[in-house]
A and B are shown apart, each in its own frame.
Chain A
Amino acid sequence: MLRTAFGDRKTHSFTTELAMELVEYKRDRIQYLINYGVIHESGNFLELEEVYLRFFEDVLDVNEEINIASVKECIDSLKENIVYYQKETTDKRKYHYLSIVQRKLRDIGVRTIRNVIDLKRNVDTAYKQEPNYDIKIQKLRNLDEKRKSIRALMEACERLMEEDKAFFSFTSNPQMASTIADVRNDFTDAYYNLLSIETQIIEYIHLIEQQNLLIKKIRKLKYLRDQLTIKESTDIIPVVSRMNPVWMENRQYNRMRVSLDMLQSSEEMSALMRRVAEKEGIIRKSRTSALPLTEDELRENVSPLNEVNQQEVWRAFRAGSNNLFSFILSYDYKQERTIEQHAVLFCQLAVQHPNECRITDKYATYENLEYPLIYAK
């Protein structure tokens, strides 16, 4: 229950109801803690008493507030005890004050380091989590003041350690000398950290101011744009004339032609093309492959044409010495031909090659057909 109460300390949302649930509805347990001043009831809420809150924060190292006052108190108390130590005459009492001084010194070192750590965390939190720019910048400025205070206290303490005569006598005590050395080491660490925190604060403030300027400028430009006067009221035209980034071009990704060889190279590609075609709904337009041939179509079914290669016949005729008609009659055709076909071929060859023929005046007769004797030149 105490753990939950501590966890809810910032939101002040630890209700009595929740507490009752955590103590298994035994009200006397809560009452016991109230009676001993560990928690107190405020309306319907329960809160840890300040003293325990601080105790837990100190022990758990989770205090968010940078407590400069406590360090200052420590230094004041240190000074007081040094005075007592100097004035004390009995050794036993002197030793008592010496141990108090030693404890206070150690405390100052520890608290300073813790303050520096808290300061660093607070700076980051203020910058990263505070949504309001004005509050953010104010918080950072306040934290910067705290940074200065921590530094001032460290300097005051160092001055004390360097200038107070009592410290010279302390150095003869080995335990005390070691504590002083520890505090000095803590301070050195703290100085370095404070320097980096200072830089960080300056940078954060600078960034915020930049963002503030940016917001103002965006609002002004937007106003001018909405008023349709942005061209006249700014140098936007010359600025955009000088720019040619690709993003302004609304450029589509360059289309590349795919290699036809690649597309025809594999079944995988052809499947891919079919899929694309289907997706684009162009399957019907595209030339589709023919259906496989049937058995019937594959059967050998040759019907030779009764055609003659005239060129071939003419070439053979020219090679011989026979007259054209006799040659045509005796030529080795693949199929039998009629006398009419022979006559047609005779006329065709004679007409097609007038300059290569020697037409004589002599005639011969075949069956009842009279023909002139034509020879190759």
Chain B
Amino acid sequence: MLSNTQAIYERLIRGGFLAADSTKADVKRLFKDVEDNFEEYSEFFQQIGFRLESGNGYYYFSTINDSKVDIERRLENFCKWIDYLDFFKTFDSTFSVGYQFSKAQIENEIDVNADLKDKARRLFSQQKTFPEKVEKLIGEMETMGFAEQIEEETATYKVTSAYRYAEDLVNLLTIHHEDEIPE
């Protein structure tokens, strides 16, 4: 019995992810339901043109028909995440699934870490100040379901298991002559 098709569809159609370790009860419930009825849901969504993709601790949608998004656009979207991953790993090399961070921590680190400041400056040209840029970056993470706010007062967030997808993206690529590139 597929009882959450609408809720799952509404979340995934916007490009969001369902994370196994979400702190939100509704997301957790949806993840569990998809996990228990993966075959049935896959079949259902397939009929309306979506492939329910599963990863290590996350689910998301991809389109079955050829995507209408052109290569340049896809490239841009992909590279955007290389920037974000690089930013977070510069902020803290242990930044990964389960990591907890606050907006203030990132802002403070930008203040004292010149490398991070430089990277922050290059992110989101529309946003002028660092707090705005950080806000936007966290917003991107939240939209995808890669991070969730766990404490409103201190603006503290937790990185969900869906973030593994972003890390997996990096592993999809092969760098030609990798040894010649500086780390």
Contact = CB atoms under 8 A, between A and B. Distances in A.
B62 A245 contact: yes
Nearest to B68: A249
A253 B176 CA distance: 38
Given A131-B94, A244-B62, A248-B78, 4 more contacts: A131-B92, A131-B93, A221-B86, A233-B175
Secondary structure of the B side of the interface?
Answer: mixed
29 contacts: A132-B93, A211-B94, A214-B89, A214-B171, A216-B183, A217-B170, A218-B85, A218-B86, A220-B175, A220-B181, A221-B170, A221-B173, A224-B175, A224-B181, A231-B75, A236-B78, A237-B75, A241-B71, A243-B78, A244-B66, A245-B62, A245-B63, A246-B62, A247-B60, A247-B144, A248-B69, A249-B63, A253-B13, A254-B13
B62 A243 contact: yes
Contacts of A221: 82, 86, 170, 173, 175
A371 to B, nearest CB: 78
Contacts of A215: 89, 93
B27 interface: no
B12 interface: yes
Count chain B CB atoms within 10 A of each CB in A220, A231, A250 and give the residue with the most: A220
A238 to B, nearest CB: 10
Interface of A: 131-133, 211, 214-225, 230-231, 233-237, 239-241, 243-251, 253-254
Nearest to A130: B94
Interface residues of B, number: 47
B14 interface: yes
Nearest to A227: B181
Given A218-B86, A220-B181, A248 B174 contact: no
Contact of B183 (A219, A233, A239, A247): A219
A246 B183 contact: no
A127 to B, nearest CB: 10
B142 to A, nearest CB: 13
Contact of A247 (B15, B66, B172, B176): B15
Interface in B74-106: 74-75, 77-79, 82-83, 85-86, 89, 92-94, 96
Nearest to A242: B172
A220 B183 contact: yes
Contact of B173 (A236, A246, A247, A249): A236
A221 B172 CA distance: 12
Contacts of A245: 15, 53, 60-63
